[in-house]
């Protein structure tokens, strides 16, 4: 809303829930990692989620597969801990393929090679059930169908949040709050500084509505890709020809599609909505409507132009449009592209990743992995200070709202690094409570030791020290 929007003062007394040690807002990959780690380390944890199920982009967003949790060369699994347990538990019920069993250039990786070694195909329904099981086993209190609408602050402390749901508005107090909203809502509403978009014009990456199609001829799709190894993106030649002939004006240079675990069923990541603000409800509404119109047009293109997809049917669309980038909260350290490309070593490393910079152009059809952006190191590190907002003492960040540049965020925003950052944030919150300090003052070497003890991986130099090398 603009500064000229009419204002009205509104006040009332609100019921207040019992306080908890750690309040996690958002149950996507970051929120799951944070809630489970905090609870397993002895904290009382409440997890607030706006949908009626857990998972965020894993489930409501239909985003998949999980991008690589391995080094860029596909040789070393980097994201382990909670993420690996989550995947293995889904695999046990037939709901996932472990990333060690997938290869780039395959249908599971969308036939893409760069950055797509060792992806994780999974079923969103398996993700929903496994997420709930893990949270309940750990003693996490779940509060679904609930939006956070405001925060309560005293100086640099967030004392609680105001939520709204079918029970009406209420207050949820907590000692520590972990912002896993993706948009940095908690930090921003509490007065933390933030940036949005790329330097120069503030434009953010486009929104995308995932959808799934069924009744695809899998072998015919594979045969086309085998016959066109020169294409950088699936069906790129057909998309270009359709544009040249004026038959279709498609939002991307190819059709990004990923094979699911079910025969004939593929995820489609091809809608693209530009120039909108994911923190603005009006823009989100516009994005949903625009993307759903694109789904209809894409299906018509599939039927008329794409081998193996002439008889495909729309299975479902995501419950919400996917937002790649909004607020990046200013933290104690700003993670930069140069640090990712050089593999900079940090003293306070709490996560490592190998996914490359994946910027979808804010203004056109380009991306991901366009020329001009240097490749990341095979393994790069994420320091704890990127999770610590500069302006707040008892709040931690995780996921795509952490302190990073536009370019660096484009690498670490995907789901496996988000799990790792969430696990680090949740562990830090519980450790800070035991130490009687704010999370920003936590003993980082103790935090690193605890992460290693619970199965996380922090890179070769930490592994060498752990093994006494």
Q: What is the DSSP string of 307-334?
A: TT-TT-EEEEE-SS-B----EEE-BSS-
Weakly modelled stretches of the chain, pLDDT under 70: 1-3, 367, 369-371, 464-469
- Provide the residue ranges of all domains of the chain, joining segments of one domain with +: 20-201+325-466, 211-317
- Residue 463: predicted pLDDT: 78
What topology does CATH give the domain 20-201+325-466? FAD/NAD(P)-binding domain (3.50.50)
pLDDT at 384: 98
Quote the pLDDT of residue 367.
Answer: 65
* Cα distance between residue 169 and residue 187, in whole Å: 20
Q: What is the pLDDT of residue 5?
A: 83
Strands (E) located in 128-244? 141-143, 147-154, 157-165, 168-179, 194-196, 211-214
Dihedrals φ, ψ of 340, to 5°? -75, -40
The per-residue pLDDT for range 98-156, each reduced to its tens digit, is: 999 999 999 999 999 999 999 999 999 999 999 999 999 999 999 999 999 999 999 99
Give the model confidence (pLDDT) of 158-180 as tens digits.
Answer: 999 999 999 999 999 999 999 99
**The predicted structure's pLDDT at residue 461:** 86
Residue for token digits 């909670």? Answer: 82
């Amino acid at each position: 809303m603009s500064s000229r929007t009419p204002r009205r003062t509104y006040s009332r007394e609100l019921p207040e829930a019992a306080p908890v040690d750690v309040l996690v807002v958002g149950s996507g990959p970051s929120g799951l990692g944070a809630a489970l780690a905090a609870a397993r380390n002895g904290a009382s944890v409440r997890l607030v989620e706006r949908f009626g199920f857990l998972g965020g982009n894993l489930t409501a967003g239909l985003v998949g597969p999980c991008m690589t949790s391995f080094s860029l060369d596909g040789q070393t699994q980097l994201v382990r801990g909670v993420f690996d347990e989550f995947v293995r538990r889904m695999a046990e019920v037939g709901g996932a393929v472990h990333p060690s069993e997938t290869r780039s250039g395959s249908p599971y990786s969308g036939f893409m090679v760069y950055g797509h070694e060792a992806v994780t195909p999974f079923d969103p329904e398996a993700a929903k059930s496994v997420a709930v099981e893990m949270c309940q086993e750990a003693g996490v209190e779940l509060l679904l169908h609930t939006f956070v609408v405001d925060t309560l602050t005293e100086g640099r402390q967030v004392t609680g949040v105001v939520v709204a749901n079918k029970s009406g508005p209420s207050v949820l107090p907590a000692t520590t709050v972990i912002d896993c909203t993706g948009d940095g809502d908690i930090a921003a509403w509490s007065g933390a500084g933030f940036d949005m978009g790329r330097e120069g014009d503030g434009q953010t990456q486009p929104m995308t509505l995932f959808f799934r199609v069924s009744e695809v001829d899998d072998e015919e799709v594979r045969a086309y890709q085998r016959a066109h190894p020169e294409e950088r993106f699936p069906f790129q030649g057909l998309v270009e020809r359709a544009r040249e002939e004026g038959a279709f004006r498609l939002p991307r240079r190819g059709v990004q599609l990923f094979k699911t675990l079910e025969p004939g069923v593929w995820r489609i990541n091809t809608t693209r909505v530009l120039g909108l603000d994911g923190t603005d409800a009006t823009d989100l509404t516009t994005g949903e409507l625009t993307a759903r119109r694109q789904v209809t047009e894409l299906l018509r293109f599939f039927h008329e132009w794409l081998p193996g997809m002439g008889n495909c049917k729309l299975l479902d669309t995501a419950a919400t449009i996917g937002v790649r980038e909004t607020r990046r909260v200013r933290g104690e350290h700003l993670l930069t592209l140069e640090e990712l490309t050089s593999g900079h070593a940090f003293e306070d490393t709490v996560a490592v990743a190998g996914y490359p910079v994946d910027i979808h152009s804010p203004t056109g059809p380009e991306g991901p992995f366009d020329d001009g952006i240097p490749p990341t190191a095979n393994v790069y590190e994420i320091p704890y200070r990127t999770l610590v907002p500069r302006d707040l003492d008892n709040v931690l960040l995780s996921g795509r709202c952490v302190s990073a540049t536009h370019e660096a965020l484009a690498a670490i925003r995907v789901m496996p690094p988000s799990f790792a950052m969430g696990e680090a944030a949740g562990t830090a919150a519980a450790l800070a409570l035991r130490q009687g300090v704010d999370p920003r003052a936590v003993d980082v070497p103790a935090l690193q030791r605890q992460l290693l003890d619970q199965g996380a991986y922090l890179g070769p130099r930490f592994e060498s020290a752990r093994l006494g090398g």
